[in-house]
């Protein structure tokens, strides 16, 4: 079986090669960024591993022999899932490789905002020594934490941060009541934003969630609130977040993900003193990267051996 890695940020693909060749498969590599490049590189292959290269309906139509797409990561928004389903192409991901890392990063960002660490660091480096320069800080036990999305990462984030907060509320329309975590009050989305002094996002990016956190939800938050996003960049409208900072509704915003990565438009939020930014690194440790790459390849090995990948998201045939 021929397997193509369409694109990857890694210096070498030794992990993928070891997993695939040990199972008797041939590994090909490319550096695709467009649908046309994927079509050209994937002629004659049975499965692809993708990082950012788009797998559109046009790609699937041009590659009728392609039967499986394995994504480096959790989100599959770079794949036209409905087109894959209609054509019987498996789509799979790696949902559990960086759970601890992303939850840790979300909590670190949240605590940094609550204590204004980056602001105080900036002031000290500028020669100013005054604990009040960063504005008013409040004891977290007087605040409410809202978690939007209570999957693996959202639940771990909630469990880690909950002891510091006086109240914890959550929103997840897909989680049944019998699986709802204890100690977390279930609210609707509007209610959660109205009630929460700090909100952390843990949702996939879909047509329904794109631009979810816009001007309406931001304006509902109490004055001086905080927003953290380590999930998908398209969840947050940057204009709305900036407006919230300028109006004082938001005292701080922490983003590990952006609608465009790397950013090219020079959005003013990216240089705002109350914005904490990291380059989509929440998932990263050496161990998480190795696990991600190994499991992305194992999806294909398991599918070839049993007819089903390890982590299916879209069922193929």
- Over residues 194-222, the mean pLDDT reads 97
Q: In terms of domains, do 217 and 245 share one?
A: yes
Q: In terms of domains, do 92 and 103 share one?
A: no
CATH number at residue 60: 3.40.50.720
The string of pLDDT tens digits covering residues 9-46 is 998 999 999 999 999 999 999 999 999 999 999 999 99
Q: Has 232 been annotated as catalytic? A: yes
Could you give the strand order of the β-sheet that contains 167-171, starting from the edge strand earlier in sequence?
A: 185-186, 167-171, 144-148, 198-201, 225-229, 250-255, 275-277
Domain count, the chain: 2
Cα distances (Å, whole numbers) of residue 236 to 114, 132, 229, 244: 20, 30, 8, 12
- The DSSP output letter for 64 is T
Q: What is residue 293's three-state secondary structure?
A: helix
Res 35: pLDDT: 98
Q: In terms of domains, do 176 and 199 share one?
A: yes
Among 151, 121, 152, 115, CA closest to 135 = 115
The pLDDT of residue 164 is above 90: yes
Q: In terms of domains, do 178 and 243 share one?
A: yes
Helix (H) or strand (E) holding 85: helix 81-87
Q: In terms of domains, do 153 and 272 share one?
A: yes
Q: In terms of domains, do 129 and 180 share one?
A: yes
Q: Has 123 been annotated as catalytic? A: no
The string of pLDDT tens digits covering residues 234-265 is 999 999 999 999 999 999 999 999 999 999 88
Share of the chain above pLDDT 70, in %: 100
Q: In terms of domains, do 262 and 296 share one?
A: no
Q: In terms of domains, do 93 and 116 share one?
A: no
Q: Which domain holds residue 169?
A: 99-277
User: Whose structure tokens read 């009630």?
Assistant: 195
Which tokens hold the place of 299?
């999806």
Res 264: pLDDT: 86
Res 249: pLDDT: 98
- The DSSP output letter for 213 is B
- The DSSP output letter for 15 is H
Q: Considering 26, 82, 246, 261, which one is annotated as catalytic?
A: 261
The pLDDT of residue 160 is above 90: yes
Q: In terms of domains, do 127 and 44 share one?
A: no
Per-residue confidence at 268, pLDDT binned at 50, 70, 90? very high
The string of pLDDT tens digits covering residues 136-150 is 999 999 999 999 999
The string of pLDDT tens digits covering residues 91-124 is 999 999 999 999 999 999 999 999 999 999 999 9
Beta pairing class for 167-171 and 90-92: unpaired
Q: In terms of domains, do 236 and 124 share one?
A: yes
Q: In terms of domains, do 268 and 159 share one?
A: yes
The whole-angstrom distance between residue 197's C-alpha and the CA centroid of its chain comes to 22
Q: In terms of domains, do 197 and 235 share one?
A: yes
Q: Has 25 been annotated as catalytic? A: no
Q: Considering 87, 232, 274, 293, which one is annotated as catalytic?
A: 232
Q: Considering 122, 167, 280, 294, which one is annotated as catalytic?
A: 280
Do the beta carbons of residue 92 and residue 298 sit within 8 Å? no
Res 134: pLDDT: 83
Res 195: pLDDT: 98
Residue 249 Rama label (left phi>0; alpha psi -120 to 50; beta): alpha
């Amino acid at each position: 079986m021929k397997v193509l890695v369409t694109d990857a940020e890694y210096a070498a693909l030794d992990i993928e090669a070891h997993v695939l060749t040990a199972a008797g498969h041939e590994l090909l590599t490319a550096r695709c960024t467009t649908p046309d490049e994927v079509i050209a590189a994937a002629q004659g292959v049975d499965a692809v591993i993708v990082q950012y290269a788009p797998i559109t309906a046009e790609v699937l139509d041009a590659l009728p022999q392609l039967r499986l797409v394995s994504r480096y990561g959790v989100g599959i928004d770079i794949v036209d899932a409905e087109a894959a389903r209609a054509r019987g192409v498996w789509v799979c991901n790696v949902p559990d490789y960086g759970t601890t890392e992303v939850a840790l990063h979300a909590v670190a960002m949240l605590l940094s905002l609550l204590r204004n660490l980056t602001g105080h660091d900036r002031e000290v480096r500028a020669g100013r020594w005054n604990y009040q320069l960063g504005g008013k800080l409040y004891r977290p036990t007087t605040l409410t934490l809202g978690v939007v999305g209570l999957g693996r990462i959202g639940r771990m984030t909630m469990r880690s941060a909950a002891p510091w907060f006086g109240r914890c509320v959550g929103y997840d329309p897909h989680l049944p009541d019998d699986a709802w975590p204890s100690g977390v009050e279930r609210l609707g989305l509007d209610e959660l934003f109205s009630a929460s002094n700090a909100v952390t996002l843990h949702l996939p990016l879909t047509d329904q969630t794109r631009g979810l956190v816009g001007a309406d939800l931001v304006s509902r938050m109490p004055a001086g609130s905080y927003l953290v996003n380590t999930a998908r960049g398209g969840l947050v409208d940057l204009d709305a977040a900036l407006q919230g900072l300028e109006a004082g509704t938001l005292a701080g915003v922490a983003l590990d993900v952006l609608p465009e990565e790397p950013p090219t438009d020079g959005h003013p939020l990216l240089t705002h003193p109350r914005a904490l930014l990291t380059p989509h690194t929440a998932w990263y440790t050496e161990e998480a990267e190795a696990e991600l790459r190994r499991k992305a390849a194992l999806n294909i090995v398991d599918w070839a051996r049993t007819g089903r990948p390890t982590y299916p998201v879209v069922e193929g045939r």
